[in-house]
Structure 1
């Protein structure tokens, strides 16, 4: 299962496009809300999460995904349960994925030290010793997938499908949604 953490102020497209693409590939996705199940994104779109963070079954996770949006990133950083879940996933070798401002969360925890990664342009100084791949939409290094920004939501989501279900599944989903990027 893939859990996508939603905190107030999350970037809607960065969470929902990958969730949609993963579900089209047959991957179980749980939108987990920080502070409840009604979470309002950065652009005023309120999403009903599948569960509140505290009800998430962490034992079932194959991947934890962190969308950007400065408010959402602050919500994740300010929630001890979210931080503990990220640490647990890293320690257990679970896939971690982050887009836009969210890779800075992984960098703050030291998970991107000397790894190739990407983040929202202008936030590179917050990436610690990560080897930032400027201008690259999606980067995979080990069990960590990072992406640049909202414009990378489709290639990011398709890369998540690829790492979990294989290249053929990613190509099929891209074909089915007529993604030509």
Structure 2
């Protein structure tokens, strides 16, 4: 697949919520691009103080090349992402598209809630940010898929979230192969 899955990274992102989906998506053969939202640097520091070098800076991406944008949680990472107008515009564009997807985990869905983008989508998120979503469509599930929005509540569901993201683009046989390789089945 030539189309890209953009995983947004800001200082304070949750390591497992970003890197587990990256791992799963790449195992499934998908084109994943990690994106630094930091000014003039590819280096981003996780909430756990692990430094990650992103593939590209947000100022250099071609948004039209993407088919999905993924918003991890982690504090203050998700606050940094939802406050970044560039990230919000990409999420808005992808959400309003017929052939693009948005994935968000933990505090990541607040990018939609705080910026008035959640609309009538069903979603899940970390229980600590549920009130910030400004929506009654919350569902207490491991993963919620509603049209082109895929959400998950937190770090413990990161692999399952990654599998849900991958299943948008690959067949069940590929998902089974990934699960076997990860000793999930």
Determine if the TM-score, normalized by the shorter chain, exceeds 0.5. Answer: yes
1: CA distance between counterparts of 2:49 and 2:30?
27
Please say if 1:171 is aligned against 2:176. yes
**Unpaired segments of 5 or more residues in structure 1?**
none
Secondary structure, counterpart of 1:164 in structure 2: coil
Confirm or deny: 8 A CA contact 2:82 2:115 kept in the other structure. no
Give distance in 2, aligned partners of 1:160 and 1:166.
Answer: 12
- Structure 2 match to 1:72: 77
Cα distance change, pair 110–166 in 1 and its aligned pair in 2 (3 A): farther
Contact preservation (8 Å) 1:67, 1:98: yes
Given that 1:158 and 1:170 are in contact with CA atoms closer than 8 Å, whether structure 2 keeps it comes out as: yes
In angstroms, what is the RMSD of aligned CA positions?
A: 1.3
* TM-score (normalizing by structure 1): 0.94
Q: CA 1:130/1:3 → structure 2, altered by over 3 Å: closer, same or farther?
A: farther
Q: How far off is 1:49 after superposition?
A: 0.1
Secondary structure of the residue that 1:131 maps to in structure 2? Answer: coil
Q: How far apart are 1:92 and its partner, in Å?
A: 2.3
Gaps of 5+ in 2: none
For residues 120-139 of structure 1, the aligned pairs below 5 Å read: 120-134=126-140, 136-139=141-144
What residue number does 2:19 align with? Answer: 16
Matched, 1:46 2:51: yes
**Alignment length (residue pairs):** 179
Q: TM-score, normalised by structure 2?
A: 0.92
